[in-house]
A and B are shown apart, each in its own frame.
Chain A
Amino acid sequence: MRDTSVLQRLLLQDKPGKILLGCLCGLVVLVPIFNLLVPADSFFHVPTYVVTLLGKYLCFAILALALDLIWGYCGILSLGQGAFFALGGYAMGMYLMRQIGDRGVYGNANLPDFMVFLNWQELPWYWTGFDHFGFAVLMAVLVPGVLAFVFGWLAFRSRVTGVYLSIITQALTYALMLAFFRNDMGFGGNNGLTDFKEILGCDLQSSTTRVVLFVVTVITLALSYFLCKYITISKLGRVLVSIRDAESRTRFMGYRVEHYKLLVFVISAVLAGIAGALYVPQIGIINPSEFNPLNSIEIVIWVAIGGRGTLYGAVLGALLVNYGKTYFTGGIFAEFWLFILGALFIVTTIYLPRGVVGVADNWLALRRQKRLLLAAAPVEQV
């Protein structure tokens, strides 16, 4: 009963949240039906690649949620979310790599192809355990979480804030990218991990597996949304907002600011890691370019365009920008995509500080005001 009450409380004041949940429920029901049950030549058939594409967008939406939680509510502009995402992805990628077994090009049952290629004789110690799905999932959560804990503990304790934090998180991402590009790291160098065959014994290429992965992603997104929403409406969330708006004052009131920041930073990193772990089996590859600092900055722009500090805005922004990216980079406008993205960065920061959600809110407020005025007008005339 308590669960429902929490759910009720979560949704009571949250109209956009209800809409989001409705949309996600619709996706969970409709996409499998239109992909698996409707015949391929039908107008309503949803091809598998679209399912994968949607799944990818939703993974990014989880990532955007994670960033909105720390940036929108706590003022921590982390440029390391891309790194946590990629670490989660690598953990899943290592499991998928082990599942290939002896079906690789070299047919070596003990070693992945790239290790055979590098003349390695045995599996490095940090690859042990990745034969088990559960272990890989645990690592996808634990590795970003622990890294965020150590990094955040150091940074928040010595009160590294604002742009300094952004710059050193970017440095962390950059260092990780350089590290994963090295062949001797044992993560496949610049080719990364790819050529996956199956997950939990199910063929990764089959439509059913894809749909199941999609459904899992949708459910994860919904759960992440509720988690973030729960955090923001709880007392913890209020403290976070006060840290965002006046850090010193919050500290003087007796709150251990660094503990709050650390908690939310770790939660955000774990969410990013989960998003990465869901992303890799759907896309089928993970390589060091995911660590590119540019990707981390792009996540920020999703949130900024959607509207920071709203959660649903982050989801909306991630979907909009990524749909735009697919649409433009695929067509004749490919060359213009970076112009558009660049212009988006500039226009949103200057003219739309609250993003698309802010524009919609303003518009709705204006209409409500007009309606009120109209309703009031006859009274005035009398």
Chain B
Amino acid sequence: MNISLRLLSVLLCVCVATLCRADEFADLVVKLNGDSFSEKTEAVGGLHRLDDKRVLPVLKAMQDGNLFVVAEAGQIVIGKESGEGYEVQSVLDNSPLGVRTKSQLEKIKINNGLRRELRSLVAGLELSAKDPDIRRQSAINLIKNPDESLRESVESALGGEKNQAIKSLLHVALASIDINSTDTVKRKAAVAILADAVQPEAVAMLEKVAAKDPSGHYLEADTELASTAEAALIRIQTQLGIYKFIENCFFGISLGSVLLLAAIGLAITFGVMGVINMAHGEMIMLGAYTTFAIQQLFPQWLEMSIIIAIPAAFLVSGAVGVLIERTIIRHLYGRPLETLLATFGVSLVLQQAVRSFRANNVAVITPEWMSGMWQINGALSFTFNRMYIILFSLAVLALLAFLLRKTYMGLQMRAVTQNRAMANSMGIRSGWVDALTFGLGSGIAGIAGVALSQITNVGPNMGQQYIIDSFMVVVFGGVGNLMGTFFAALSLGVVNKFLEPFAGAVLGKIIVLVFIILFIQWRPRGLFALKGRFVED
């Protein structure tokens, strides 16, 4: 009895305490809309002392002018501009309160003094926040807008910071404040720190220090400092050049792997079977639409949708491929130019079929784990979806090579391509092998569609963008040769990316096309030509 009473009283006390705290927050928030700026400043200071994670968003909203009072209710809300009005949410529990028009809201005004106060408090709160992402973002913001008054917050944050990456960012932030100070020692230290940074802002600051007038003299009074800065700049520029090179290589390889994915199915249908499949692009499109359909059918598995879509797209495109082979291409073996026309007809029909479902340009959602990027330093970052596509295309290539070289089915495929009559007499049913090979090529195009749906628009015409490029890759690499396709795709991708800064995207592409046209004159059978009698037409 006694114990339970005590327990009850303790519980009560705890409740009251939390209520009090909650009330304190609510009271202070109401005071933010006080009559005088001094009252507001007091409230802001009070809020800052509370250890409550709701404080930071409120102060930040106030600083950015996004804190409002709802006219009739007197409730204080955070607003976000959306369309014709503001989407508002309560500051107390972050619950959304719908959309209000501008006239229903009254902005909480702040003056310069309060703004300065807010900036330093928000920066302090952000720099000591528990979430490392907030701390990092705050440090990056500080580098972008150095503020003398925030120096102390930065210094104290630097003392407590454990994360090395954020620590170095904070050093740069501190240096970018110090470089504008009057203390020579501080400036010298700042230049030394900035010399190791690669952020564009740091480079700009060093450039300012090392600036010269037209006659070649430093504008900076402290010439020693300026020459140090200039030496550092030269070093940074080479470093940045290297990063730019790495980045170009990465983009080039990622473009190359997109080309590889698009072309690899064609390497089978065209390279192995000799069929000019103009509907190849539409197989890619079907794969992309399968991804879309799966996201629509199973919205609860959005994160996994891409994984589910890979086998599904393979089956859908592969089945369509087998159907096309059995109904159309079967009649046209040995007449490659005719397969070009017939499959072009198929591509027109498929495109129009998708259009008549009113399915123009659908939005395929990127799962959470594929978005975002890997930030290496201020000048270099790799996006996740590109990295996944590179890995994915290599995996598909490896799987395909394994299938063709090490399995019985692959053996049959190679046998039929090399000598159909002999394969037939050995008991291989070449008709079925043809259908399966074409299905395999189409299915891989479908898989490519899943990957491409993550980086381009999905629409009825998406296949058209890739068909010419795919043919170029296969012809350039050498028909009937997976390795050739691989090297051709990667080299074309990298060359294209390196041409872009000099020539622009379109001209770069034209140059590559002309190069391939000329290259074919030199080696009509591509980079890695197959040798042997069966190559002759």
Residue B28 is within 8 A (CB to CB) of chain A in the complex = no
From 90 to 131 in chain A, residues with beta carbon under 8 angstroms from any chain B beta carbon are none
Contacts of B351 in A (CB 8 A): 338
Assess the B509–A171 pair: CB atoms within 8 A: no
Given contacts A170-B468, A338-B348, contact A158 B521 (CB under 8 A): yes
Residue A85 is within 8 A (CB to CB) of chain B in the complex = no
Interface residues on B, range: 35 or more
Assess the A163–B346 pair: CB atoms within 8 A: no
Residue B276 is within 8 A (CB to CB) of chain A in the complex = yes
Assess the B510–A301 pair: CB atoms within 8 A: no
Given contacts A160-B524, A164-B524, A350-B331, 11 further A-B contacts (CB under 8 A): A154-B521, A166-B337, A170-B471, A171-B516, A174-B468, A181-B506, A182-B507, A335-B352, A345-B346, A349-B341, A349-B345
Assess the A341–B345 pair: CB atoms within 8 A: yes
Q: 16 A–B contact pairs at CB < 8 A? A: A154-B521, A158-B520, A159-B524, A162-B337, A162-B537, A163-B337, A164-B524, A175-B510, A182-B507, A300-B341, A335-B356, A343-B345, A345-B344, A345-B345, A345-B348, A346-B342
Residue A67 is within 8 A (CB to CB) of chain B in the complex = no
Residue numbers of A with Cβ under 8 A of B are: 77, 151, 154-155, 157-164, 166-168, 170-172, 174-175, 178-179, 181-182, 293-294, 297, 300-301, 304, 335, 338-339, 341-346, 348-350, 353
Given contacts A159-B524, A163-B337, A174-B513, contact A168 B475 (CB under 8 A): yes
Assess the A158–B522 pair: CB atoms within 8 A: yes
Residue B22 is within 8 A (CB to CB) of chain A in the complex = no
Q: Which of B278, B336, B348, B517 interacts with A162 by CB under 8 Å?
A: B336
Q: Name the residue on B nearest A71 (C-beta).
A: B337
**What number of residue pairs across chains A and B have CB atoms under 8 A from each other?**
120
Q: Name the residue on B nearest A172 (C-beta).
A: B517
Assess the B517–A350 pair: CB atoms within 8 A: no
Nearest CB of chain A from residue B322's CB, rounded to whole Å? 16
Contacts of B220 in A (CB 8 A): none
Assess the B336–A163 pair: CB atoms within 8 A: yes
Assess the B338–A342 pair: CB atoms within 8 A: no
Tell which of A151, A181, A341 has the most Cβ of chain B within 10 Å. A341
Residue B332 is within 8 A (CB to CB) of chain A in the complex = yes
Residue B340 is within 8 A (CB to CB) of chain A in the complex = yes
Contacts of A174 in B (CB 8 A): 468, 513
Assess the A161–B521 pair: CB atoms within 8 A: no
Given contacts A174-B468, A301-B341, A343-B349, contact A350 B328 (CB under 8 A): yes
Q: Which of B341, B355, B475, B524 interacts with A304 by CB under 8 Å?
A: B341
Given contacts A171-B516, A178-B506, A350-B328, contact A163 B340 (CB under 8 A): yes
Given contacts A154-B521, A159-B524, A166-B276, contact A77 B340 (CB under 8 A): yes
Residue B189 is within 8 A (CB to CB) of chain A in the complex = no
Given contacts A164-B520, A174-B468, A350-B331, contact A342 B475 (CB under 8 A): no
Assess the B345–A344 pair: CB atoms within 8 A: yes
Residue B401 is within 8 A (CB to CB) of chain A in the complex = no
Residue B170 is within 8 A (CB to CB) of chain A in the complex = no
C-alpha gap A209/B276 in the complex (Å): 45
Assess the A342–B349 pair: CB atoms within 8 A: yes
Nearest CB of chain B from residue A206's CB, rounded to whole Å? 38
C-alpha gap A339/B342 in the complex (Å): 13
Q: Which of A168, A293, A350 interacts with B342 by CB under 8 Å?
A: A350
Q: Name the residue on B nearest A350 (C-beta).
A: B331
Q: Which of A159, A179, A297 interacts with B344 by CB under 8 Å?
A: A297
Q: Which of B338, B464, B468, B471 interacts with A349 by CB under 8 Å?
A: B338
From 330 to 387 in chain B, residues with beta carbon under 8 angstroms from any chain A beta carbon are 331-332, 336-342, 344-349, 351-353, 355-356
C-alpha gap A338/B356 in the complex (Å): 11
From 500 to 537 in chain B, residues with beta carbon under 8 angstroms from any chain A beta carbon are 506-507, 509-510, 513-514, 516-518, 520-522, 524, 537
